Structure 1
């Protein structure tokens, strides 16, 4: 909330100083003179009065912030008029606020069986007030079970690691801001969503939309302008459950920003802010300008803050009320000048005008499974379609109602294709003359440039052929990829370095081919990856690895030194890592003893950082698609480096998911959606990382593990052990030191979150790293993994996956068109 100053009593009625207690129990209560401070000292629970008010409320505030902003209030609509109030736990186990006359002003309102059960309430280090139930007959239940928590019932703020669940009962009222700076009761604004399928965040002013984020495409909100100042908004994401008709708005928080949170203020603004030690800094907020206000320019109007006046009618439209428009009252919007010609016999076909980088209109409709070309065709043949847009994550969108709430961005947004009659798309003769002359001149200049470029390319090709090299084609578009940017090694020198590729220098064998150790004339040790003629992989994978890995530089990625394309040989030359790969240690009964807990944690963290770089921080966004123990190389200090990018794919930063008819990878590491449907994304890499993480924790290989009693895979057995509180039985005994038990349990927990069956349930890469490093303390409960049972007892790296070797936790009848095993 913005500048909510809270006045705390400096003393209590019957004491000269306030008292701090640790928790609330059936025998210990919180009175007006008491406070509860979280263990880390960051948050306080207690009674307070807002500025310019004498009313008393129970709330939670930031303890180390001088303005003492309150982010959660219990009895917000039922204040106390004096300091006689208490918070206690009732006989039926409910947390409640009572007045001095024992009137219940607020309650957690739960129905909890209280037999053999005791209750306590604590304030967590994340600022979450939790009500715990303890089984008095179970000595192992000292920590208790959470039966209620304030994070599930936010008032006007979303704290890090908070999951804001929106249901039909609170669709428009998931967050309710204060009525004013002095009154925390329900204000005029509210926040929620208007759809359970293609959700967007909406702020309402009463029953009228005040602001909207645009629909969620699985990666970003399509109606927001993402700038360098607003990048932390990516820490918020939406998870949709069409079956239960619920939407989860999850805010993971920005770990580098102190006390970062979202707040919905009394004036209808949602903003992310953080404390810099002196004042609140705002990362992002909306609505921030008049163009952010919903439908500011009316139907078929477009708004730009860089223009004066800010509103204009779309091309082909004119103000509905010219007088109001001239007086800058744009609420009535615009109307079409010429009717669309759809269905009129003999008329010229309608066309589309491209509106670049805009916030797409409200009232979006969707065509499932339609590509961009067909999206245009469908709109053109549908007489009610007024515009369409396409996004890789959201798919084909079209509009059949008035186009409202269009905003122009300088960058970002989407291209909107506005349907216009042919006459509105034409140009005058004078305009044509003006256009034709520059076009002719430009064409001559382009032709000349192409000629000189052709001469340069031809001369370079001749020169490279003289060196015994060749130009290689790569990718579906068959565009040329030149190897000039990489150092080129002579085949002769590589043959000398590897002693003519003798088996004694062979480091390993992969799907690409053998890898050899070599020593160059200057003493530099290298690893030579030689494409085998018999390899199932070929030129495409070779060039893919060249293009991808040559653009990447990170301490947790293997370094590509160069390549060799000569004498029909194709080789990649990498830095030499003396300790081979992770599987060489992890699954060896002797060498695994070198991997104590601290080394394993370093390896886990290093792989996570490498993935964050691939998915988020590199210039190219890379989906690896084959993350496994044998592709994690170890340097002399056993630090991990991700290798083998032959199967990797480059995503645009707006792209969320892709699909393929050629499923490649390693059985046991492939996610369900990838193995069964060919869909791959960041979340499929997360699944592979989760498998790898559980392998590191257990010392067991997922592809060969089988718990015969239930035919469980490693994932299934860990899941079973987790639910039975018997996780100690599956942990590798070499690391099962009680000193490290909290970190070990956390890593198991994170591993299970990563291998959940549905991609939307899995955390993002950056969230995984924050979880592992305990920057996110309260982890959500995991759901059942995919591929928990094994149907046949055979080597998982055989083709028997096609015959049902693995069974997911849900049925799936989609066939695999082409499957390539590693």
Structure 2
């Protein structure tokens, strides 16, 4: 209660504050708080960056956005949101800080970095809202480091580019518009508008609905599109070997012209002049077969359903109440257009509505079109020409790549014949359900079910609504019954299999061994930990399943497997040129910084090594294997354990010898990997029978003698930059210094990697550079190659 009191006290107090002079720039060390009159405003007063409470949400829902004033020439102009940076919940009003280190941070219950996509951060960075609505971060020298135009949401502004970029790099990327999930909910919706990914000779725009083409503009003729003729829109197209994109140009006779993609898939063009404002349809396609459907050319016709030859596939909207809803879809990523599609394809479905009317998410369905009209009711969608008298039992509703929904109510025909057949079946079904429910060997169920008291899966006493649970049978089918042909490899806690889900998605299923020693509580904790981590350089957990003694983790499948499988293979390593290796080093550093500083929980990985770095199709690195990770509280900087878990050669001295671990333990492991990546040699491959000298000792000797060229992998001879490689080796040596206090933090490492002007310290002798008393077998039994496994590390004693 005191938090609520404080919040309202803050708002009331803020209302007494005189209007703050608007500014367009956040300087290092300054902040933007939530209260009336506090915002960044472009110098032309057209745009404002500010925090607002999320419409339709609770008191403590917020988002940071850029808004423009519609009808600005009127006394009370309407604010329209053109860009959203962040959504979140916070017990206190959030604040935006421009840190001295170069991060633009939202301070809330869970901190968020606005410019997290930025490769490296630069001190003395400023954030400025320009007159075209672009939020730009610049260095002290004026160099653009990050800009909001590179990350469009649902609005295409003049000067913003949509298309493909970085085509010559290992990781090309696309910029496109994404609809909101609902009118008042800025979460990503079902529709995207961007450049066609394949057609390069005749470029065109395409509107897609969940990856399926919904509308296409037709070929670009140099000035316009075949199916898109609008005198108030002006485009330019640019293409070369590295990028191809369309840019929307500003019309001189309007102060603002922009394109907006709505939650329904409709796209409109908004025009604003000095004394007028207007809006016109840009793309307008009904997902139905009514006479008024497909008003625009370019719309792709959907396949007719079998419901009355497709004539009843469209729905009338109204407001009111329906007595009984029979099926529910509890999915916060589905909007009303998804409900429409599922209901239209099910002939026994005659009405639908949103589960969460305020947010516009989830679905509920009824076989009866009968409703009670009420202006204060919810938005209802009733099948055209449906008749209440024809009400039948609602068939299971399906959606591609989703399991059928669980029914909460059903109605049966009361005729004696059907009852006589149904009663025995229900008795048997009830008995089966009771046996199944009492059996502890049941599998995790899908998360798309009605939330009854006994139907929710709990992990460690808490529910995780964002983590799907897979049915064991579906994993068996995906992996061809865990066949040898699908086996990717063997980890310390069990085999990993490649699988393909019914929707075509490739997965890596880690099947934990029954003799692995990992208990169910540890499994739960690992699932909870990984499910809350979201970063481009961390492997993504898709879900899990338990079935009797079976415990399975489902991860994204990464086709290039692990870094060590390429780096230490003489034939494969040639594909890792110097640019790719620098890219991999930077990606690992960014992922590790996220774990240490910016994730929801401060995490120490404890088992970083090249076999736990997986590579996607573009050689983008992702940190995996969180089985040994530990969560640190904000005021805790070091911990100790009697159980040393990890891999020799990557362990820091204080951890391997005394069981003490901290962020600096991960920094040591990172330093080892840096030297392995530069040299192409495995740390434990350097040894003598009695005196074991590893890669750290070899690098140190070469560094002292000034023989840097001897350290660089010969396969990179034609691509390597000697200066950059020397700098990387020095950074690696700083990371593996014997004393943990001498090692840099990951923030400092990223600054050193990204800023050549940063002066590097002279490194001290590495820990474990010479290891006395270890036998050859102790360090030589590591597997030379690992596959696309998300493994939990081998447990090794000291």
Shorter-chain TM range is 0.3 to 0.5
- Quick check: which has more Rg, 1 or 2? 1
Q: Give me the TM-score of the superposition, normalised by structure 2.
A: 0.42
Q: Give me the TM-score of the superposition, normalised by structure 1.
A: 0.41
- Greater relative contact order (Cα < 8 A, sep 6+): 2
